[in-house]
Structure 1
Amino acid sequence: MKRDSIYYQIFKRFPALIFELVDHRPQAAQNYRFESVEVKETSFRIDGVFLPPEGTTPRVIYFAEVQFQKDEGLYHRFFTESMMYLNRNQSEYDDWYCVVIFPSRSNEPSDTRTHRIFLNSDQVQRIYLDELGTSNTVPIGINLMQLTIAPDETMAEQAKQLIERVQLESTGTIPKNEIINIITTIAVYKFSSLSREEVEAMLGLTLEETRVYREAKAEGREEGREQGRQEGREEGREEREAEMLKVIVPLLFKTGMSIEQIAQQLNVDLEAIRLAAQQNQEK
């Protein structure tokens, strides 16, 4: 499941959702913009930076990291990237915060001492999605993020319940159809092996009428085409290699080299050399 892509879409469309997770809410929260920012002259890329709208004071930047896999180097990388960004953009902010989102505490790096100056400060907040409350008690935006960690066996039911909430409750400034689009995206990615009809039945929606379904399926088709092209290139490479061995192996045999020596010399699998030798004998 492509959670990085999903969270990029969630925060890009609804940047104010980040403030439902943290303990502070800046003025003009709805007008923040979400960007993926490259720190120039390095190989670092910050996945999520929430930039304040023009004219607001104080200008507060929020760095966000969504981490669903155990990564012991996460804090080393995240705080380094964030500090480098702050250093290179000193005139663009008055304050900053970091938000790190985990599905559960078990995904957090075990070393929380090395970076304790950050982790124990009020400028860094760690969020554990499975500790935010049940789906019927949390705001819709948080419920949407919790859907990304739902087990396969309960995800469909949770998605349907969330869709019902969206249709019945106020979603504030967030358009209801946009939230349903994100729910659709999560379902399509999570159950990529299902047909359109099966996903429709699961969610109670007509997915072919939604933009997200078309985009997700188009991406799936492109991935399929790319895989086919890759497989075709691989098959072609194997055919060319087999033809080359048919010519080279007999010549190397004449020098007195063994099959093992030829395989080592050509850096080719031993079985491929045996097959080429056998085909040469059958001629």
Structure 2
Amino acid sequence: MRRDSLFYQLFAQLPQTLFDLLGRDTPQGYRFESVELKQTAFRIDGVFVPPDPSGIVYFCEVQFQRDNTFYERFFAEIFLYLRLYRQTFSDWQAVVIYPHRQAEQECFEPYQLLVNSDRLHRVYLNELGSLEALPLSLALMQLTVLPEVEMPTAARLLAERTRTEAVPRPEVIMELITTIVLYKFTELSREEVLRMLGFTTEELKRTRFY
């Protein structure tokens, strides 16, 4: 499953997801960007840019494979960005999303102070809680890491929540659920996936995939 592109779509379509992870109210005006830093090979996958220079810039990375030089690269990218775009923000925070604790690198030296500071937030998807209780944005994240046997039931649950709860942009959430399942069950057709999610014929006709 190409989780990087899935999370990129999730953040781009539902930028409030980052603030749900942090347990904060979603501020207005933030935009999500993927930033390539000039004259380097560095690319920061997720940058949440504040609407004015008095705001906080947020850096977000999704890390599903253990990389024992990850923090070395991540902090290098962050500090280069801070140098290049210092006039666009007043402070910074960083978020790293792991599927579980075992995916994190083992040794934090010489970045122990930064890793343990309140500037860095480490999120482990398998510890977020139940799909029923999570905000839909976070439940979508958790859906990406569920075993194949659990995914159909979980995806139907999220599709039903999307239909019955007062959520912003329900059509976007439904599309994201469908896309996640399509990535997982590559042998199924789009229509079979939509049927799995419990779409009626009329709902099916209203989807982009139809």
- Cα deviations by residue, 1:179-224 (Å, 9 ceiling, x for unpaired): 001001101111111123432331123657522x37xxxxxxxxxx
Residue 159 of structure 1 corresponds to: 155
Shift of 1:63: 0.1
* Within-5 A mapping of 1:63-142: 63-142=59-138
- Is the 2:97–2:122 contact (alpha carbons within 8 Å) kept by the matching residues of 1? yes
Shift of 1:83: 0.6
- Cα deviations by residue, 1:57-115 (Å, 9 ceiling, x for unpaired): 63110000001111112111111101100011111110000000001001111112321
2:40 corresponds, among 42, 51, 61, to 42
Residue 148, structure 1, aligned to residue 144, structure 2: yes
Name the SS of the counterpart of 1:111 in structure 2: coil
One-letter amino acid matched to 2:71: Y
Q: TM (normalized to structure 2)?
A: 0.92
Shift of 1:17: 1.0
Structure richer in helix, relative to its length: 1
- Cα deviations by residue, 1:27-71 (Å, 9 ceiling, x for unpaired): x624211000011011101000000114xx631100000011111
Residue 14 of structure 2 corresponds to: 14
C-alpha distance in structure 2 between counterparts of 1:46 and 1:208, whole Å: 38
Shift of 1:24: 4.2
C-alpha distance in structure 1 between counterparts of 2:151 and 2:72, whole Å: 33
- Cα deviations by residue, 1:217-266 (Å, 9 ceiling, x for unpaired): xxxxxxxxxxxxxxxxxxxxxxxxxxxxxxxxxxxxxxxxxxxxxxxxxx
C-alpha distance in structure 2 between counterparts of 1:208 and 1:110, whole Å: 49
C-alpha distance in structure 2 between counterparts of 1:39 and 1:127, whole Å: 25
Residue 185, structure 1, aligned to residue 179, structure 2: yes
One-letter amino acid matched to 2:136: I
Name the SS of the counterpart of 1:48 in structure 2: strand
Name the SS of the counterpart of 1:37 in structure 2: strand
C-alpha distance in structure 1 between counterparts of 2:24 and 2:75, whole Å: 20
- Cα deviations by residue, 1:3-38 (Å, 9 ceiling, x for unpaired): 11111100001111100101444xx62421100001
Name the SS of the counterpart of 2:59 in structure 1: strand
Name the SS of the counterpart of 1:187 in structure 2: helix
One-letter amino acid matched to 2:54: P
Residue 222 of structure 1 corresponds to: none
Moved more, 137-146 or 78-87: 137-146
Structure richer in strand, relative to its length: 2
C-alpha distance in structure 2 between counterparts of 1:4 and 1:161, whole Å: 24
Name the SS of the counterpart of 2:157 in structure 1: helix
* Within-5 A mapping of 1:208-227: 209-211=206-208, 213=209
Name the SS of the counterpart of 1:29 in structure 2: coil
Greater RCO (CA < 8 Å, at least 6 residues apart): 2
Name the SS of the counterpart of 2:65 in structure 1: coil
User: What stretches of structure 2 of length at least 5 have no aligned partner?
Assistant: none
Name the SS of the counterpart of 2:150 in structure 1: helix
Name the SS of the counterpart of 1:188 in structure 2: helix
